[in-house]
């Protein structure tokens, strides 16, 4: 027994010494950070799956060099994400990093990314200020800002859907505030009014107290949820008899494909806006969705698409440099200059702040061939994070908050 303990201690020490002696040459190393355990594991898994699918398609090679993926689990905890980022950069010597899911992680990593001057791709983290008031040179966002799809959607809700008064109910954190804030701004500028706002804790288990409070006199309810919460909300919204009385609209995650297959008729007719839909009818998207289904046997969510496209972004930059990615400044510029036209979500380019200009799709949940899908019913082409506002004036105003 004692000998065994000594051996274990010795082995751990030896492992420690060996682990730090890895060199930087050879393949292109991409560090990847998402939650693979904890409450956000499923979303994190989707993001990773999208990337793995892409890497498989290109045979783990780009620009004449082998691609090596080093995936680390952040557990959805910012401090853990930072520790793992330190490992990837300082111990594994990655050329660039990608990943992140929660805004809290995005903000926690930003100062470290800046201090280490390592190019970082955020495929999902949607906290507005990461490419606005607190922008970082080294962060390239290939996803969206929380308010980005909601600016056109507020306009759409007033002019096309014809709503005049709306109640909002959303998760009480920055993704919720920024989405609702963006929606409210354009909706009220068009002439509508948000008459009631409710915020639920992220850990919400029962929506009964909130649903009882919803005013019955509004034209529609705007909801923002994801994961387990959105399944629960949809079901209770119907159980409370609200579905037949007040139309439900919301942010893209509320009916996103990570949750949609687990919903029933209660989701039918819900209208949401996002920069992606798995039902998007383009050759690139059809190919992606069917390849994803063939490999993982499930519907591609926007999380999966985010890193499939984010991966394409990275690969495009590597190809543009013929694999010469060792100069981080050059790699960063290549990432910022990349312009992709054949992504599943459509054509995308970065603005001067490192955030994509991309289409926003208005989607309605329909049942097609027995399966629920987000049918695209309208498209706002080339939407910037600043919508139609002047960036300088936009940035002079405070961030959307409660």
Partner 1 sequence: MAEPDAALGGPRPPSNTESMSPRGWRLAIVLVLGLVFSAGPLLFSSYWVGLLTQMVILAILAMSLDILLGYTGLPSLGHAAFFGVAAYAVGVLATVHGAGFWTCVAGGLLVGTLLSAVLGLIVSHVRDVYFLMITLALGMVLWGLSFRWIPVTGGDNGISDIPTLAAHSGLPFAGPLALYYVTLLVFIACAGVMALIVKSPFGLTLRGIRENEGRMKSLGFNTWLHCYLSYVIAGAFASVAGVAWAYYNGFVSPTYLDLTASSELFLMVTLGGPATLVGPVLGATAIVLLKNVMSAYTARWLLVLGIVYIVTILVAPKGVWNLGPSGRSR
Residues that bind partner 1 (CB under 8 A): 1-2, 5-6, 9, 12-13, 15-17, 19-20, 36-37, 72-73, 77-79, 82-84, 86-87, 89-91, 102-104, 107-108, 110-112, 127, 172-174, 201-202, 401-402
For partner 1, the closer CB: 107 or 240: 107
> Please, which residue, 18 or 368, has the CB nearer to partner 1?
18
- What's the closest the beta carbon of residue 137 comes to partner 1, in angstroms? 15
- Smallest distance, partner 1 to C-beta of residue 359, A: 28
- Compare residues 127 and 221 and give the one whose CB is closer to partner 1: 127
Residue among 86 and 339 whose Cβ is closer to partner 1: 86
Q: Smallest distance from the beta carbon of 172 to partner 1, in angstroms?
A: 7
Q: How far is the CB of 304 from partner 1 (least distance, A)?
A: 18
Rounded CA separation 294/290 (Å) = 6
CB-nearer residue toward partner 1: 96 or 113: 113
Distance CA 372, CA 55 (A): 29
The first and second tokens of residue 92, run together, are 């594994």
Smallest separation, CB 123 to partner 1 (Å): 19
Between 1 and 212, CB nearer to partner 1: 1
Please, which residue, 13 or 287, has the CB nearer to partner 1? 13
Give me the least distance between CB of 1 and partner 1, in Å please: 8
The nearest distance, CB 201 to partner 1, in angstroms, is: 8
Nearer to partner 1, 39 or 264 (CB): 39
Query: Which residue's entry shows tokens 């989701």?
Result: 267
Nearer to partner 1 by Cβ, of 16 and 370: the residue is 16
Minimum gap (Å) between residue 283 Cβ and partner 1 = 34
Distance of closest approach, residue 392 Cβ to partner 1, in angstroms: 23
Question: What's the 3-state SS for the chain?
Answer: CHHHHHHHHHHHHHHHHHHCCCCCCCCEEEEEEECCCCCCHHHHHHHHHHHHHHHHHCCCEECCEEEEEEEEECCCCHHHHHHHHHHHHHHCCCCEEEECCCHHHHHHHHHHHHHHCCCEEECCCCCHHHHCCCCCCCEEECCCCCCCCHHHHHHHHHHCCCCCEEEEEEECCHHHHHHHHHHHHHHHHHCCEEEEEEEECCCCCCCHHHHHHCCCCCCEEEEECCHHHHHHHHHHHHHCCCCCCCCEEEEHHHHCCCCHHHCCHHHCCCEEEECCCCCCCCHHHHHHHHHHHHHHCCCCCHHHHHHHHHHHHHHHHHHHCCCCCCCHHHHHHHHHHCEEEEECCEEEEECCCCCEEEEEEEEEEEEECCEEEEEEEEEEEEECCCCCCCHHHHHHCCCCCC
């Amino acid at each position: 027994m004692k000998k065994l303990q000594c051996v274990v201690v010795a082995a751990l020490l030896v492992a420690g010494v060996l682990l730090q002696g890895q060199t930087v040459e050879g393949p292109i190393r991409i560090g990847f950070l998402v939650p693979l355990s904890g409450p956000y594991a499923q979303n994190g898994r989707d993001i990773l799956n999208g990337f793995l699918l892409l890497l498989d398609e290109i045979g783990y090679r780009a620009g004449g060099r082998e691609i090596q993926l080093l995936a680390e689990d952040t557990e959805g905890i910012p401090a853990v994400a930072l520790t793992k980022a330190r490992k990837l950069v300082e111990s594994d010597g990655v050329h660039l990093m990608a990943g992140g899911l929660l805004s809290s992680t995005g903000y926690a990593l930003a100062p470290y990314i800046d201090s280490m001057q390592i190019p970082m791709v955020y495929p999902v983290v949607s906290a507005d200020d990461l490419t606005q008031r607190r922008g970082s040179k080294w962060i390239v966002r290939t996803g969206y800002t929380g308010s980005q799809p909601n600016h056109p959607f507020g306009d759409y809700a007033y002019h096309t859907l014809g709503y005049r008064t709306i109640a909002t109910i959303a998760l009480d954190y920055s993704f919720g505030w920024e989405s609702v804030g963006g929606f409210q701004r354009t909706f009220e500028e068009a002439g509508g009014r948000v008459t009631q706002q409710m915020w639920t804790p992220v850990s919400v288990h029962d929506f009964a107290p909130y649903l009882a409070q919803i005013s019955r006199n509004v034209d529609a309810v705007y909801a923002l949820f994801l994961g387990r919460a959105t399944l629960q909300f949809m079901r209770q919204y119907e159980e409370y008899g609200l579905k037949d009385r007040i139309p439900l609209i919301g942010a893209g995650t509320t009916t996103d494909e990570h949750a949609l297959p687990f919903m029933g008729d209660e989701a039918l007719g819900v209208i949401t806006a996002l920069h992606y839909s798995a039902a998007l009818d383009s050759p690139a998207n059809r190919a992606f969705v069917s390849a994803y289904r063939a490999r993982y046997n499930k519907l591609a969510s926007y999380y999966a698409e985010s890193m499939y496209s984010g991966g394409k972004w990275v690969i495009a930059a590597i190809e543009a440099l013929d694999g010469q990615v060792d100069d981080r400044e050059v790699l960063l510029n290549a990432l910022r200059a990349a312009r992709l036209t054949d992504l599943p979500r459509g054509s995308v380019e970065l603005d001067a702040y490192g955030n994509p200009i991309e289409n926003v799709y208005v989607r309605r949940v329909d049942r097609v061939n027995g399966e629920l899908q987000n049918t695209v019913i309208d498209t706002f082409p080339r939407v910037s994070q600043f919508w139609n506002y002047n960036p300088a004036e936009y940035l002079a105003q405070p961030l959307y908050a409660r």
